[in-house]
Amino acid sequence: MKKGRDTLDVWIDSGCSHAAVMDTHPELHCPADLYLEATDQHRGWFQSSLMLSTAFRAHAPYKTVMTHGFVVDKDKKKLAKSDAGKGGKPTDAAYFYNQYGADIVRLWVSSVDWQNEVPFGEDLFKQVAEPYRRLRNTLRILLGNLDGFDPKSKIINLSVVASAKSDHQSTILDKWILERLHEVTKECLAAYESFEFRKVFNAINQFCTTDLSAIYIDALKDRMYCDAPDSPRRLASQAAMYEIFSSITKLLAPILAFTADEAWEHAAFTEGSVHEQDFPKADPAFAPSQVSKDVDRLFQIKAVIQTAIEARIQAKEFTRNNEAAIELTVPESDAHLLEKLNDRDFATEFFIIAELTVATGAELVATAKKTDLPLCPRCRKHEPLVASGLCQRCDDVIAKPLT
C-alpha cells in the first residue's frame, strides 16, 4: 500500500476508468457491454465517463447503461452502504447468505423490480424461500422421473412427441407441455436480453407451479410409476421431461447458480457444468398449435368434471378422485375432442378418474357416481381385472422380465 497523491477529482478519476481499466486489461474491451450503477450516477459516473470518453476516443465507453433504483427500508428510507455490518441490512450480504443460502439471496435480487426503489425487509426476503423450495422440488421430481433414461438411445425421440399421433393418444399432454416450454423459453430469453430478471423468475415459477407440478407431473404419475420401463408413452414422457429439465436448469443457472449446478451434476446424462452450456433455443417444432387449444379446452372440461366429483365426495359417496365414474355431455363444438375423450387410457389419466362416458348435447355438463370397477392392487386404479387379479397393463408389466 502506498499513499496516492494524484487524485485530481473523484468524477474525473472514476470517469476515466475506461482508459485505466479496460484499455490496460487485454481480456476487456472498450466500449464495455454494460455500465451498471444506481440512478444517482446519471449526473455522476455515467456522465463523466461519457464526457471523458467522447473527448478521448470520440465515442461512449459503454454500449448499454443499466440504472437501478435504491434499496429502501419499509418506510422508504434509503439504506446506505455505510449501514453494512448492522445485521438485517441488505448491504450485509453475509448475514443473509449465512441465514438463507446464497441462492435465496440471488433469487430475491431476481424477483425485485430494480427499475424503481426496492423495498427491503427480512419478511419480504423470506417470501422467496417458498418459490425456491418449489423450483428445487420440481428439479428433484424431474430427476427422479428421468432415472434410467438415456437421451442417446433415441428409442422415442421428440419428433414422435411433436407428431402427437393418434396411435400415441397420450402424447398430447407431452406435446402440450413442450409447447408451454417453448413459450417459457422464448419469454425468458427475451427477458434476459433486456435485464428483466423478474420476468424470468415469474415465467419459470409459474411454469413449475401450475403447468408442471399441478397438471403434467400429477397426471403422469401413473404412467411413470406403473408402466413398463420400455412403454412407448412412458419413454415419450421421459423424452419430454429430459427436454424440460435441461431447458429449465440452463435458464435458471444465472439466478440459482448453485442449485442449477447441483441438479446438473446429479443427472446421469449431463456432461460438464451447467455454467458451460448455452441457453436453450425455443424449438419451432413445439410452437403453440391446435394441441395447446385442445388441451386448454380439455382443462375447462376437467374443471366441470372436478366440480361434479367434489359434490359427490362432499356427500360422502366416495373419497377419491379415481373412484369416479363420469357421464359427460359436451356441445357439438367439441366434436373434434371425442376421439380423445373416448380413449379410455387418455381419459382416465388426464382426468384422474375411473370411467368416462361421453355424449354430445346442448351444453357442457358432467355427473359423477362411484365406479363399479374393482381396484387394481398394483396401480391403485379402478380397472377391469384379469385372472392374476391385476389390470391388463399391470399384468403385462409383471409378466415381462426386466431387461
Q: Which residues 6+ apart lie within 8 Å of 137 measured at CB?
A: 213
Q: Are 49 and 17 in contact (CB under 8 A)?
A: yes
Comparing C-alpha atoms, which of 75, 57, 76 is closest to residue 18? Answer: 57
> What's the closest the beta carbon of residue 223 comes to Zn ion, in angstroms?
11
CA distance linking residue 395 with residue 388, whole number of Å: 7
For the purposes of burial, counting CB atoms within 10 Å of the CB of 88, is it exposed (0-12), middle (13-18) or buried (19 or more)? middle
Question: Helix 232-252 vs helix 218-226: angle between axes, to the nearest 10 degrees?
Answer: 130
Q: Choose the binding region for Zn ion from 101-109, 111-119, 149-157, 391-399 (rule: CB under 5 A).
A: 391-399
Site string for Zn ion, 326-365 (x = CB under 5 A): ----------------------------------------
Question: Of 42, 231, 46, 268, which Cα lies nearest the Cα of 149?
Answer: 268
Please say which residue, 330 or 376, places its beta carbon nearer to Zn ion.
376
- Report the distance separating Cα 179 and Cα 184, nearest Å: 9
224 counts as binding Zn ion under rule CB under 5 A: no
Q: Measured from the CB of residue 356, what is the shortest distance to Zn ion in angstroms?
A: 18
Candidates 119-127, 179-187, 263-271, 373-381; binding stretch for Zn ion (CB under 5 A): 373-381
**Which residue, 362 or 402, has its beta carbon nearer to Zn ion?**
402
Total residues at the site for Zn ion (CB under 5 A)?
5
Which lies closer to Zn ion via its Cβ, residue 182 or residue 378?
Answer: 378
Is the CB of 241 or the CB of 376 nearer to Zn ion?
376
Q: At its nearest, how many Å lie between Zn ion and the CB of residue 385? A: 8
Stretch that binds Zn ion, among 47-55, 124-132, 228-236, 385-393 (CB under 5 A): 385-393
Question: Which residues have C-beta within 8 Å of that of residue 163, sequence separation ≥ 6?
Answer: none
368 binds Zn ion (CB under 5 A): no
394 lies in the site for Zn ion, by CB under 5 A: yes
Cα 327–332–333 angle (5° rounding)?
A: 115
Q: Compare residues 225 and 299 and give the one whose CB is closer to Zn ion.
A: 225
Among 139, 173, 379, 397, the residue binding Zn ion under the rule CB under 5 A is 379
Q: Which three cell numbers stand for residue 368?
A: 359423477
Closest to Zn ion by CB, 331 vs 384, is: 384
Q: Position 66: which residue type? A: M
Judged by the rule CB under 5 A, the positions of this chain that interact with Zn ion are: 376, 378-379, 391, 394
